[in-house]
């Protein structure tokens, strides 16, 4: 465990996040699946919510309208943080830096975009 002190890595998500929407997501996930969600579960959830938001804003299930709505997204708030789409259709968002102490995730900080 000594080798895993003062180790940091970047991620999309940390279960150490105390934001109420994140803690609610974690609790609901644990209730349903019997374990804590990882970053991929959080990203999958955000993807589903992002798509639902795009369909709602498009006011249609027409694929071109949905594409345009998704491409114009500004300040979408998800479990992994908020993001906006840039002109190349890339999400611009913060990253979570997770610190390890004694072999376990001990700290988490969202670093601005």
pLDDT tens per residue across span 74-107? 999 999 999 999 999 999 998 989 898 888 888 8
pTM of the model: 0.85
Residue ranges of the domains in the chain? 2-111
**Closest-CA residue to 50 (of 89, 98, 108):** 89
Q: What local confidence, expressed as pLDDT, does residue 69 receive?
A: 98
Averaged pLDDT, 1-11:
82
Alpha helix (H) residue ranges in the chain: 20-33, 39-58, 63-71
In tens, the pLDDT along 14-63 reads 999 899 999 999 999 999 999 999 999 999 999 999 999 999 999 999 99
When the candidates are 3.40.50.2300, 3.40.50.970, 3.40.1190.20, 3.90.1150.10, the CATH number that belongs to 2-111 is 3.40.50.2300
What is d(CA 21, CA 78) in angstroms, rounded to the nearest whole number? Answer: 9
């Amino acid at each position: 465990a000594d080798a895993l002190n003062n180790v940091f890595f970047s991620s999309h998500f940390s279960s150490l996040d105390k934001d109420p929407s994140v803690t609610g997501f974690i609790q609901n996930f644990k209730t349903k699946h019997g374990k804590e969600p990882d970053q991929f579960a959080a990203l999958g959830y955000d993807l589903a919510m992002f798509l639902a938001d795009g369909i709602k804003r498009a006011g249609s299930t027409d694929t071109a309208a949905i594409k345009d709505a998704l491409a114009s997204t500004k300040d979408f708030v998800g479990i992994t943080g908020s993001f906006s789409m840039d002109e190349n259709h890339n999400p611009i968002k913060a990253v979570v830096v997770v610190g390890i102490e004694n072999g376990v995730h001990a700290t988490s900080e969202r670093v601005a975009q």
